[in-house]
Structure 1
Amino acid sequence: MKKKYRYAKIRDIIQKEVIETQEELAAALADEGVSVTQATISRDIKELMLIKIPTEDGRYRYAVSPEQPALFAKDRFISLFQGTITSIQYSGNLVVIQTLPGSAQAVAYALDNTDIQEIVGTIAGDDTILLVVAEGKDPKKVKDRLYSFLREA
């Protein structure tokens, strides 16, 4: 189960339903076909920066923080890409991205949190990212899309 998919489901659930506990969230995810442990739910809540807000009857429910910055908005993503990427190549269903030293993990995190559905996941070292393209998807198109971010003004 991809983290991006699970995060999208969690956001959708807490916007549509009153979820007061981690157990309720896990049950709602299970109803959607997503099986998770309590530890995963706890980590997801922290990473998504969810907050608890009061309900009309005085109880508390999970919600997305209104002050939560948009994670890697397009302009921020493009700025990161343009400032750190040195080359992009592909082979088979893999895309290899070279960055400035020390930048690969930040770029990989940004890629993992984009809406590029063809990306299965990334592995980052110090200056190299291995990006896995979903089966049946064209890695050249992914590479070309990534290059397009480098050319945007």
Structure 2
Amino acid sequence: MNKAGRHDLIKAMIRQEKIGRQTDIQQGLEARGVVGTQTTLSRDLRELGVIKIHENGRSFYSLAIEEERVNFIQLLAQYAYKVDRASFILVLHSELGEAALMANIIDAEKPETILGTLAGANTLLVICRDDVAAQQVEAEINYYLN
């Protein structure tokens, strides 16, 4: 199987199941007739923008960055230097005067994971649909901050 086919299979597995370990993904691929090394799998996960999110004391892989969201998240990460989360609320920290700009970016994109924003001078309050959505958005932004 070629790389694109393998990527599609990995994405399908992650969307359908809560997978917590790379070895589980590798075993799932092997069960579907795709044999590869752990190094190749790690590279695939990185290229796909796969992240780990935490829910109810467990961590599992998630497709953080869908193609249409990459530019949106990258743009936010250009202005934010830190993200804090409390349940379903995120606080994005920025330089003075940039919080309103980040709010405009989010409002223009209208992501379904975010219900609304409230901008101060250098912090942006982002209200997400639920805890899982907040974790995902936080992880996506941190992916580009780190």
TM-score for the superposition, normalised by structure 2: 0.46
Please state which structure has a larger fraction of its residues in helix.
2
Q: Kindly name which structure, 1 or 2, has the bigger radius of gyration based on alpha carbons.
A: 1
